[in-house]
Structure 1
Amino acid sequence: MLRVEVWGLGPSDASLLPAGLLEAVSAVGVDNVIARTSRHPAFDALPPGVATCDDLYDAAETIEDVYAAIVGRLVDSDGTVVYLVPGSPLIAEHTVELLRDADGVELVVHPALSFLDLAWQRVGVDPFAAGVRLVDGHRFAAVAAGERGPLLVGQCDSAHALSEIKLAVDDGPDVVVLQRLGLSDESVTTVAWVDLDRVAADHLTSIWIPALATPVARELVEFAELVRLLRRRCPWDAEQTHQSLTRFMLEEAYEAVEAITSGDVDAIEGELGDVLFQVVLHATIAEESGDFTLADVARGIHDKLVRRHRHVFGDVVAETPAEVEAMWAAVKAQERGDTGDDPFAGIGDAQPALSHAAQIGRRAVAVDFDWPDVEGPLGKLAEEIAELAEALREGGPGTDAVVAEVGDLLFSAVHVARHAGVADPETALRAASAKFLRRYGAMRRLATERGVSVGEDLWDEAKKLEGR
């Protein structure tokens, strides 16, 4: 059986190497010694010829892949191997966790002094009394979710890692950056949260976070991490683009509307999750290309809602829903840079046709191009019905003229709906369609029970049954 003896190199130079380490290296010979990395101040105290895993860091795409490759290299060895890791093998050493789970490995772990002992002294904290949580900088967003601190974050070894930590929390506190503790160029500095990603990070960098005002939302952070993983490892997710996902965004939105209409709260929860997946997937794709991140999306909608709720966050007075809608429209126009020349500028063409027509109607009201009451659009609707009948008589079904007249009729019906107090004709039509399906189902059941064909008399009976 393979025997792996894990020794820690301590937190700084050779003066803090654990007793017995050099003797253990000498006992097995340098050919049977593997160091996780040569980037450690005590590495030069080892005998020449000690192998390292630095090449695996260069070849792997993620830090998780690096750890897996290191363990793979160790497991492929024979006899007894001495494995050397920075600091203590019992503190934030993921390869040791993987070795514990590996089959056919006898694992012996030798304790060593870690960077924590020096860190507690520098920040002047008793970790037990303060209830400090230790966090891996590469997994900060997921692991620290829900925490308020204090936190000591290790392995902050790159600008990218510090940037991820910074983006995981909005408006974080001043932090203490601990670098190269125990060495001649040791640095302990206080840095503002907004400047965290400007720190010249190295493999001996950690940060002390005394407290977080707002904890990170664990479930959302873990979900975002999952989507990133799918982009790396799932062939389908990896090949998607903003353009290829367009139809899925529409499908999930429609299915969410269907669930909401049904009133089934479990279905609503599930469909909202599917919509959220589309949002996070788009944000992940944008993050990969350097365009924006999920944090940018959340921050953008946060700031937009604050701007457009000036009656809540400013000094604008809006006491009724109608006043709020008018203010909202004015702010949107200002953000778009509308000059007022075109009242219909900015209406999205991709929305459903009924919603599109309803929005046009609302804009027409804003510039006083509308009927004073419902009698106007009702008369227009009757006019369009007559014109459709005439087009059918002259050209028959399906002609361009008929298509145009049907469009005019529907457009007029939307204006009737608005004047009748129906703000969302899309929902009204959906409810009517659902009502038809319910009544037809009831009619079929009646026909089956009586052994007769469906007909208008059964339809009228089904309507009466529904009205009970």
Structure 2
Amino acid sequence: MAGLLTIVGLGPAGPELITPQVMERLAAAPTVRLRTARHPAAAVVDAPSFDHVYEAAERFVDVYKEIARNVLALAAVDDLVYVVPGSPLVLERSVELVREAATDMDLKLEILPAVSFLDTVWSRLQVDPVEAGVRLIDGHVFATAAAGQTGPLLVAHAHANHVLSDIKLAFEEPPATAIILQRLGLPDERIVEVAWADLDRELEADHLTSLYLPEVAEPVAHEFVRFDELVRTLRDECPWDRKQTHASLRRHLLEETHEVLEVLDARAALADTELDPDLDDHLAEELGDLLYQIYFHARLASERGSFTVADVARGVYDKLVVRHPHVFGDVDADDADTVVSKWEEIKAQEKQRDSALDGIPPSLPGLALAAKIQKKAASAGFDWDGGVEVAYADVEAELAEVREDPSEHEVGDLLFAGVQVARRLDIDPEAALRSAAQRFVSRFRRVEVLAGSPEALAAADESQLTAWWAVAKSAESLAD
């Protein structure tokens, strides 16, 4: 039978801010654990801490998960008091995890009130947080948590200079100054207003450091917020935008997608790390046009009360977290194939589909559609051993059938068999055919030059065409 798990806070500074109720509970507890002994009031608690977890883990998310597991395991066999800095209900991720898990366990949970570091902050700043509308932000996730906010912002967990550096770099138009609050309530407390450029250089941040931004002229993610407002304005005031529907925009979405692909094809010969200012500017422009289409469709949906662009972002964020348990959970995945397999497994559980082939968009280009169907069927176990030789044999068999019956049906089977060759060689058939088509265009243009005129090209016999083609191929080889 699980015991009683009591979670208490040490307050923001010295032992004098620990509440009498917490002190009584600590004195009577059979088992006590500290999240960390690195706190000014921790010395009054004679109990082991989880500081060793911080030393062993690489990421804070792993630290809090491991601490929560240990706390729940201890509480499952006996009464336990779990002690955290400050207040248990203010930016305490380990407490959040414990509370979530406790609902699924036969575990009694009690959280005692405690003084938060926030009380000391408001006292020192002489700020009413409700009247001022202060938003509390976790410094570990500042760029996302502060998106769209214009302040005032109080940033906690600014425990290291690299966190301050990340915050500093999150703004395109930063505020002129910021107020650093350190070790409030202790004899060596510091409250320093610093120039923004010196945010990560003025002092050494520690676990009792926070940051106050009274006003932010340009919010984090300002450009996305501004863009969303532009789409809204165009929809309201532009005659062309007003008349658009999901159906009328379909063509534009397809066109913008192909224009992005065209630039990506032009970059294909370059490494991803290689700069090409002209191509990169072109890619940024085309991605912007595609982004406009996404925002536009979200705007139409918001008008009927369905969803907003924020819901789109939130949905894909949540989906990517769930489908990456090897990053955000306890699943091991050491290679890309394992990641893909796990992705498909989670996706199947989410979608509850009747067939492994459900969910494939029928509007995909033919080669891409065939490749997707084959991969899905193979992942479900419908495949044969033998590697690419199996595909070669299929191509030969289908080619023989085309010779016997040169119909659309048999030609389709031959093309489908060709896609299997690409799949087993791990080649994208759509990209391979597009590359072949581009090579043909390049060679044919050279043939046109060699012919000199359309009339000469049309009048040339097969031997002349073959000679010109050979020259065109040779010129391509020299160019490469």
Q: Does 1:460 align with 2:474?
A: no
Mark the runs of 5 or more structure 1 residues left unpaired by the alignment: 1-119, 133-143, 152-207, 393-401
Q: Does 1:315 align with 2:325?
A: no
- Note closer, same or farther for the CA distance 1:209–1:286 as it changes in structure 2 (3 Å cut): farther
Q: Does 1:370 align with 2:383?
A: yes
Cα distance between partner residues in 1 of 2:232 and 2:213: 26
Cα distance between partner residues in 2 of 1:330 and 1:434: 37
Q: State the partner residue of 2:151.
A: 149
Q: State the partner residue of 2:270.
A: none
Q: State the partner residue of 1:251.
A: 255
Cα distance between partner residues in 2 of 1:149 and 1:391: 73
Q: What does the per-residue CA deviation read over 1:365-396, in whole Å, with 9 as the maximum and x for residues that have no partner? A: 2233223211222111122222222223xxxx
Q: State the partner residue of 2:411.
A: 406
Does the residue aligned with 1:384 lie in a helix, a strand or coil? Answer: helix
Q: State the partner residue of 1:383.
A: 397
Q: Does 1:216 align with 2:231?
A: no
Whether the 8 Å contact between 1:149 and 1:211 is mirrored in structure 2 is: yes
Q: What does the per-residue CA deviation read over 1:402-421, in whole Å, with 9 as the maximum and x for residues that have no partner? A: 11112111111111111122
Equivalent runs, 1:217-236 vs 2, <5 Å = 217-236=221-240
Cα distance between partner residues in 2 of 1:147 and 1:335: 33
Whether the 8 Å contact between 1:146 and 1:215 is mirrored in structure 2 is: yes
Whether the 8 Å contact between 1:227 and 1:284 is mirrored in structure 2 is: yes
Q: Does 1:345 align with 2:358?
A: yes
TM-score, length-normalised on structure 1?
0.52
Does the residue aligned with 1:245 lie in a helix, a strand or coil? Answer: helix
Q: State the partner residue of 2:101.
A: none
Mark the runs of 5 or more structure 2 residues left unpaired by the alignment: 1-121, 135-145, 154-211, 268-278
Q: Does 1:415 align with 2:429?
A: no
Cα distance between partner residues in 2 of 1:324 and 1:464: 43
Cα distance between partner residues in 1 of 2:377 and 2:147: 48
The structure whose Rg is larger is: 1
Whether the 8 Å contact between 1:371 and 1:377 is mirrored in structure 2 is: no
Whether the 8 Å contact between 2:148 and 2:225 is mirrored in structure 1 is: no
Equivalent runs, 1:80-95 vs 2, <5 Å = none
Q: State the partner residue of 1:59.
A: none
Per the TM alignment, residue 270 of structure 1 is displaced from its structure 2 partner at its CA by: 1.6
Q: State the partner residue of 1:21.
A: none
Cα distance between partner residues in 2 of 1:287 and 1:349: 27
TM-score, length-normalised on structure 2?
0.51
**Aligned with residue 325 of structure 1, among 340, 355, 371:** 340
Cα distance between partner residues in 1 of 2:314 and 2:361: 23
- Note closer, same or farther for the CA distance 1:406–1:228 as it changes in structure 2 (3 Å cut): same
Whether the 8 Å contact between 1:358 and 1:418 is mirrored in structure 2 is: yes
Q: State the partner residue of 1:260.
A: 264
Q: Structure 2 counterpart of 1:288, which letter?
A: E
Per the TM alignment, residue 452 of structure 1 is displaced from its structure 2 partner at its CA by: 5.6
Per the TM alignment, residue 306 of structure 1 is displaced from its structure 2 partner at its CA by: 0.6
Q: State the partner residue of 1:429.
A: 433
Q: Structure 2 counterpart of 1:149, which letter?
A: G
**Aligned with residue 312 of structure 2, among 290, 294, 297:** 297
Q: What does the per-residue CA deviation read over 1:196-240, in whole Å, with 9 as the maximum and x for residues that have no partner? A: xxxxxxxxxxxx99588x943121111111111111111111111
Q: Structure 2 counterpart of 1:412, which letter?
A: A
* Structure 1, 372-381 or 225-234: larger mean CA deviation: 372-381
Cα distance between partner residues in 2 of 1:266 and 1:444: 33
Q: Does 1:284 align with 2:299?
A: yes
Per the TM alignment, residue 343 of structure 1 is displaced from its structure 2 partner at its CA by: 2.1
Does the residue aligned with 1:467 lie in a helix, a strand or coil? Answer: helix
Does the residue aligned with 1:316 lie in a helix, a strand or coil? Answer: coil
Q: Does 1:446 align with 2:450?
A: yes
Does the residue aligned with 1:414 lie in a helix, a strand or coil? Answer: helix
Q: State the partner residue of 1:61.
A: none
Q: Structure 1 counterpart of 2:247, which letter?
A: Q
Q: State the partner residue of 1:169.
A: none
Per the TM alignment, residue 444 of structure 1 is displaced from its structure 2 partner at its CA by: 1.9
Q: What does the per-residue CA deviation read over 1:258-311, in whole Å, with 9 as the maximum and x for residues that have no partner? A: 111012322221211111010000011111111100100011111111111111
Cα distance between partner residues in 2 of 1:466 and 1:371: 38
- Note closer, same or farther for the CA distance 1:391–1:336 as it changes in structure 2 (3 Å cut): same
Q: Structure 1 counterpart of 2:371, which letter?
A: A
- Note closer, same or farther for the CA distance 1:145–1:378 as it changes in structure 2 (3 Å cut): closer
Does the residue aligned with 1:319 lie in a helix, a strand or coil? Answer: coil
Aligned length: 265
Per the TM alignment, residue 148 of structure 1 is displaced from its structure 2 partner at its CA by: 6.0
Q: Does 1:358 align with 2:371?
A: yes
Cα distance between partner residues in 2 of 1:379 and 1:282: 46
Cα distance between partner residues in 2 of 1:360 and 1:294: 31
Whether the 8 Å contact between 1:384 and 1:409 is mirrored in structure 2 is: yes
Does the residue aligned with 1:317 lie in a helix, a strand or coil? Answer: coil
Cα distance between partner residues in 2 of 1:408 and 1:351: 18
Q: Percent identity?
A: 47
Cα distance between partner residues in 2 of 1:319 and 1:416: 27
Q: What does the per-residue CA deviation read over 1:114-134, in whole Å, with 9 as the maximum and x for residues that have no partner? A: xxxxxx9xx8459xxx9x9xx
Whether the 8 Å contact between 2:246 and 2:297 is mirrored in structure 1 is: yes
